[in-house]
Structure 1
Amino acid sequence: MAPSSAGRTLTAASAVLVLAAAAGCGGFGGGGSSPGGGGATAWALTGGSEEAFRTSFESWNEANPDREIAVEWFANDAYKEKIRTAVGSGQAPTLVFSWAGGTLADYARSGQVQDLSGQVDGATEDLLPSVAANGEVDGGLYAVPNNQAQPAVLYYNEDVLADAGVEPPETLADMMEAVEALKDEGVVPIALAGQSVWPELMWIQYLTDRIGGPEVFQRILDGEEGAWSDPAVVEAATAIEDLVEAGAFGDGFGSVDADSGADTALLHTGKAGMLLQGSWVYPNMASDAPGFVEDGLGHTAFPVVEGGAGDPSNIVGNPANFWSVSSDAPEEERQTAVDYLNEQVYNEEHVQSLLDLGSVPPVAGLEEEIAAQDDPEHLEFTYGMVRDADHFQLSWDQALPPAQAQELLSNLDLLFLGEVTPEEFTAAMDSTL
């Protein structure tokens, strides 16, 4: 899953647009090149929590003019294409942005990012343990969370559902009934950015977890023979096939792009009833359609599957995004990066910046701060999802090794397009184990 995700506002065609992170940056650091002296470089994503990152880097640069951090900004898909090449060639920025998971494990085991154990207590001491643990590899700490917790949420347009006489679905059967009612109203029942493919992951993940529990995917991670053909995965893939055939995602979902916000636009313009997306899209919706967010946007948990073994509190998505420190950077740059992590990440200003955007930092004990916000409902809902989840499963395209993750995206796309059966999908994925 992308943004796997932070929310995105640029299209892939404009993804290479580079913007200054602060007025005093004096240029941008390419991979591995610092702005001079004891400064450092970072690459980060546009959209979502971008404003909070900008504020954080500006504060650091103003307080440390001799150790500025130069930042380049990328849309999600363009960044993913560039960063692995940069890390592999020793040309990574000092601060490496990631989703942890299989990619971080590769970086750590190949010595491409620094073991931060005992060096970044200032950035990790107040974090929710389940989130902080995602930065660990083989007993070492190789990444520090840097923004909001990002569970996948079922958003809905309250007016569209009301016009169709539909309540937010509590079960998969409810959802199938809602699809028919919304189709009768002439709207797309569920917006889906199929062109981007990664939003489809949220469906296979939630359904598999609701049906079989987190143990099913753990067996896949462990590489057990035939793990992809577990009955829970087959049933989840069959449910997707049923949804597609029922017209749940409309006829044109394969041309809907997530980086441009086309899926969220369908929701807030009343052309779609529901949207399963990461909470990273909320800041963009609040910016693009403030009236809708204030009076018209609803949110709920993913429906349960009757008879399923998964805990209904389980969530999927991204516990957060993460900063690592490149092992290839000069020592002075690495020290600047470590100091930045300790002093800026989840300090009072950073936490408030994220809350102001409608994002929930994975920091313990934020209930009072959230309640004090002007519109706390979405924050309280998202924070409660993360705090109370029995299990928080990382997006599969980040949890798996990169090669297997790419095969998953390719085969999942074929499943949604109706070009393979559920059994063909699982068999193809078994061959990647």
Structure 2
Amino acid sequence: MTSTVRRAGAFALVGALSLAVPLMDRLFSRPVATVAAGAPFLAIAAVALALSDDSAIFELFARPGDRRDGRLYGLAGFALAIAVLSAFGTYAGLSIPAFVASVIVLSGGNLAAHAARDRGVEPFGAMTAFVAGSLLAGTGGYLAAAAILNHPTALPRVVFLAATGALIGALVRSMLFERDDPVVLLAISLLLWLFADLSIAVSATGITAALAVTIALGYVSYALETASIPGMLTGVLLSLLTLVVGDVGWFAMLITFFGLGGLSAKLRYDRKVKRGIAEPNEGARGSGNVLANSVVALFAVIAHAASPRMGAVPEGLFLFVFSGAVAAAMSDTLSSEIGGLYDDPRLITTFEVVEPGTDGGVTWQGELAGLSGAALIAGIGAVAFDLGAVGIGVVVAAGLVGMTVDSVLGATVEGGFVGNQGVNFLATLVAGLAAGVLAITTGTIAV
């Protein structure tokens, strides 16, 4: 066993101590439990900072940077993050099993990833090991904490939460420095607390099918190089949430965008390279691009799950927000990737001819491709949800609004205070809002 695996195992043991938090919550009243929950980890952090750099414990936990500094900052940061989050969660009455799962998802996943690397596994394989190890460890941690608290549990729901935590952990680690445990732990905890608080019905068949479908699609997207590892993880996470929190119809719209959007980036890639308009990394989309185009849709899915608590929200509102945002993302992607292959684009604000690839430049071929993309998403929505003629028109119109907003922003503000990903986000946001407003004003959904 190498030192990196031993170190990961030691961190996993520290993470397992989070099981003391539900015990404290069960034994003491909330004010006392709040203090008691974080105390052991504050003690670990203090010891970590006080240890001599020639001790055996220092050698066990030390990362390369710790050896340079002569202090166990990695262990101290990990323990402090657990202490703060455990105290906050206990005080606020948030799900303690979800918190324990968050800690063990991270520490168990790290151990699995290091063990895979120790055997010479490539980065994709190590990431897969992290997700698999996190899923198993998080499920076990949640069930153990729930047992200590005598809380009823449904295994499919626990697996869903653990899988969500595993994917968000892998994503944040791939986007940031993977040893930044406090940031990763914060991201996992906040998301799991959110979903633990929502009334999401998860069946054994549903979570099994959702995991199988999303994992298969993630592997295909990576194998076909339509997405980088972070981009693939983002797509898998969004697909899982859409399948479980929404349903198959929501997922069908999202996966159509992911699939066709990714393939369109590779369409005549060599020609795009010569024109200077090609996506980097052979057209593989990264997490920033995927998130910028999908975060509004993700919000709509989560808001749909929370809508039973929002008595004044019209039924079906967030379905149209979701559909409009996805239609805009599809419309803009196809118009850019296909329209960029044609000559003599015109700037949308002045209609003067500009060079291919100029921000805000449009061609009639690209506009037609964008219209087709929006119509495709609307058609899927019509089949899945029986939107009706007016509903289809609402989704198509929202998609075109988003595509146009993207072009206008590209011609006016992109490259200054707003980058390409920011423009994509704003365009999908406007499209989602437009779809919601149009659905209400046209009477497509009842107020």
Scaled by the length of structure 2, the TM-score of the pair is: 0.24
Structure 1 length normalisation: TM-score? 0.25
Q: Higher relative contact order at CA 8 Å, sep ≥6: structure 1 or structure 2?
A: 1
More helix by share: 2
Q: Give the strand-richer structure, 1 or 2.
A: 1
Larger Rg: 2
